[in-house]
Structure 1
Amino acid sequence: MLRAAVELADEGGFDALTMRRLAAQLGVVPMALYKHVADKHELLDGMVDLVFAEVEIPVDVDWRTALRARASSMRQALLRHPWAVGRMETGTPGPANLSHHNAVLRCLRHDAGFPFRMAVHAYNLMDAYIYGFALQEKNLAGDIPAEAARRREAVADRQPSEIDDYPFLAEVVTELAKTGFDFADEFQFGLDLILDGLRRIREQSGGDEVPGPPGR
């Protein structure tokens, strides 16, 4: 049932998903669904848990590699399920959700050796970046160069005096139309900055000298 709900939401968005549509997809009457979930909110909790289950958190690698893989995997999961953007940290967490959060905290506390408060800061920072980037990627035009070309034409249609007022914006729309724009590259650029900053903080705080929770 949950996977069918995810498929419907992937096609039309979560707001377009109704219990009636889900029941029709499964070939049952709508009331049969309420044997499994109390309402649409509980259905969403289960759907979000399936998305968390798709996110990779590698073990037996250094903490930067693990966090990089987790961030990239989360972005890919949200690209597959755009309806989940903005909904990943809502509702009642399921087992995959809880396991995911515990694994990330373990990486920060045990593997990286961050003090508790710094681990919380690091987790919040990375999630703000990942979820914020996913929201921007969802809402921006899919073809940035084509959009840049369209805006360049709009700029070109203005009076010369107007173009002179916005020289750096004119540069952006002109150059992006030539060079292209890659969301994955932009994501990795920001992720590198965050991980580099966390590494410096880790070194300043003593790194592995800070005890974390028990090992695996």
Structure 2
Amino acid sequence: MTQQIDGQRRVRLNRNRVLQAAVSLADEAGLDELSMRRLGQELGVVPMALYKHVANKEELLDGMVEAIISEIDPAVGGADWKNAVRLRVLSARAVLQRHRWARQVLESRTNQTPAVLGYMDSFIAMFLAAGFSVDLTHHVMHAMGSRIWGFTQELFDDSAGRGGGDAVEVAPEVQAAMFEQIAARYPNILQVATAARHDEGSVVGRGCDDQFEFEFALDLLLDGFERLHRQGWTSRQAKKQQRNEG
């Protein structure tokens, strides 16, 4: 009877089910707990059964990236390019917030898979369709960087002091001592890093509002892109001007 049930499970197993189970496992337990053995247990199959659908763990991780990219909203048709890009980026950010492990995996990928290349291609298409030159679009993509995936490297990360993510909760007296040391050694950093504070009852807690800071920088970039587009900016002209000024 057990063999019959196992056989039925194997028949129903497919690549999509494997990837969705892997995503769910990473969501619930974290990447450290993701292994072919653990995934097989979650699916009720022996680990070897998974290799019919993914060749190895690296291919599994590539497939998980593919799965989360499919959750990002497509470009909004008919919208102005700034709004379309903004909505796409914020959708990607929402996906990464649902799947906290995804940023680590995206940063670790050495192979550009069809899903990744397809997303990048569709992102570039939004600027080209708006009339941006290929030259300007090239530099736009450099400026956007990881923002197209919905994340950036935060400069002021105080998550350790407010229990964010996997951070360790720091006692108030210990945190106060840390601030005193920073204030004595690096007063300018402390002044700027703590410039924007939030109420204790805020959703984001004390410290920087990461969503606000992300959108603030995104809007600055989009406004800058729009200005350069209207000016007919080219990298050749910009480099020539730099040489003349030098």
Bucket of the pairwise TM-score, normalised by the shorter protein:
0.7 to 0.9
Deviations 1:91-112 (A, max 9, x none): 3424x434322221110111x2
Q: What displacement does 1:11 show?
A: 2.2
**Which one of 189, 192, 209 corresponds to residue 219 of structure 2?**
192
2:27 and 2:43 map into 1 onto residues whose CA distance is 16
Deviations 1:21-50 (A, max 9, x none): 000000001100011111111111110011
1:171 and 1:4 map into 2 onto residues whose CA distance is 43
Deviations 1:163-205 (A, max 9, x none): 5665442575486266843211111111111101111111111
1:140 and 1:156 map into 2 onto residues whose CA distance is 11
- Structure 1 residues 130 and 116, CA gap change in structure 2 (3 angstroms): closer
Match of 2:197 in 1: 176
Structure 1 SS opposite 2:224: helix
Q: What displacement does 1:10 show?
A: 1.5
1:87 aligns with 2:114: no
Count of residue correspondences: 201
Name the one with the larger helix percent: 1
Match of 1:99 in 2: 118
**Which one of 20, 27, 44 corresponds to residue 3 of structure 1?**
20
1:109 aligns with 2:136: no
1:102 and 1:171 map into 2 onto residues whose CA distance is 37
Structure 2, unaligned runs of 5 or more: 1-17, 201-205, 234-246
The 8 Å contact of residues 27 and 101 in structure 2, kept in 1 or not, is answered as yes
Q: What displacement does 1:2 show?
A: 0.4
1:28 aligns with 2:30: no
Paired letter, 2:65 = V
Q: Considering only CA atoms, is the larger Rg found in Structure 1 or Structure 2?
A: 2
The 8 Å contact of residues 152 and 173 in structure 1, kept in 2 or not, is answered as no
TM-score norm. by structure 2 comes to: 0.68
RMSD of aligned Cα (Å): 3.4
The 8 Å contact of residues 36 and 57 in structure 2, kept in 1 or not, is answered as yes
Structure 1, unaligned runs of 5 or more: 207-216
| Bigger mean CA offset, 119-128 vs 61-70 | 119-128
2:119 and 2:230 map into 1 onto residues whose CA distance is 26
Aligned-residue identity in percent: 38
Structure 2 SS opposite 1:136: coil
- Structure 1 residues 195 and 144, CA gap change in structure 2 (3 angstroms): farther
Higher relative contact order (CA 8 A, sep 6+): 1
**Which one of 202, 208, 214 corresponds to residue 229 of structure 2?**
202
- Structure 1 residues 34 and 195, CA gap change in structure 2 (3 angstroms): same
- Structure 1 residues 155 and 17, CA gap change in structure 2 (3 angstroms): closer
**Which one of 55, 60, 82 corresponds to residue 64 of structure 1?**
82
**Which one of 35, 46, 60 corresponds to residue 43 of structure 1?**
60
Paired letter, 2:99 = H
